[in-house]
């Protein structure tokens, strides 16, 4: 992984895996989408609850909290990054070896019998 500035991330192609980075703090896990002027589309890979609208999103979460119900994930959405920070904003960009290591770790969790009924 390497730490880069906002302008460098904007120049990268779609499909780059990254996190927001404030020195010593990594936040979120995102897939970079298309660059739009001084902004880009991003897809969060954490907490993507399948929904039809923002109202639906909140209703699904409220129902899940009240009923200990599962929530279906979806990765077909995304939205604008939208912060428009200056070039001092930093990002941690994951390289192929990092992604391979993450996939290997998640695959190992599955092979070891990841418990699907977490309470």
In tens, the pLDDT along 4-16 reads 999 999 999 999 9
Is residue 26 scored above 70 in pLDDT?
Answer: yes
Band (103; pLDDT cuts 50, 70, 90): very high
Report the pLDDT value the prediction gives residue 118, as an integer from 0 to 100. 57
Q: What is the DSSP letter of 76?
A: S
Query: How far apart are alpha carbons 36 and 45 in whole angstroms?
Result: 20
- Give the residue, 77 or 96, on which the prediction is more confident: 96
* Residue 80: predicted pLDDT: 66
Residue 56 confidence (pLDDT) above 70: yes
pTM over 0.85: no
């Amino acid at each position: 992984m390497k730490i880069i500035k906002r302008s460098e991330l904007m120049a990268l192609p779609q499909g780059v895996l990254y996190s927001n980075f404030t020195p010593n703090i990594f936040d979120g896990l995102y897939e970079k989408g298309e660059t739009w002027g001084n902004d880009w589309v991003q897809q969060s890979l954490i907490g993507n609850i399948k929904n039809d609208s923002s109202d639906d999103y909140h209703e699904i979460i409220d129902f899940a909290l009240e009923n200990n119900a599962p929530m279906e994930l979806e990765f077909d959405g995304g939205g604008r990054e939208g912060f428009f920070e200056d070039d001092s904003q930093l990002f941690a960009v994951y390289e192929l070896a990092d992604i391979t290591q993450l996939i290997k770790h998640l695959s190992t969790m599955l092979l070891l019998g990841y418990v699907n009924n977490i309470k």
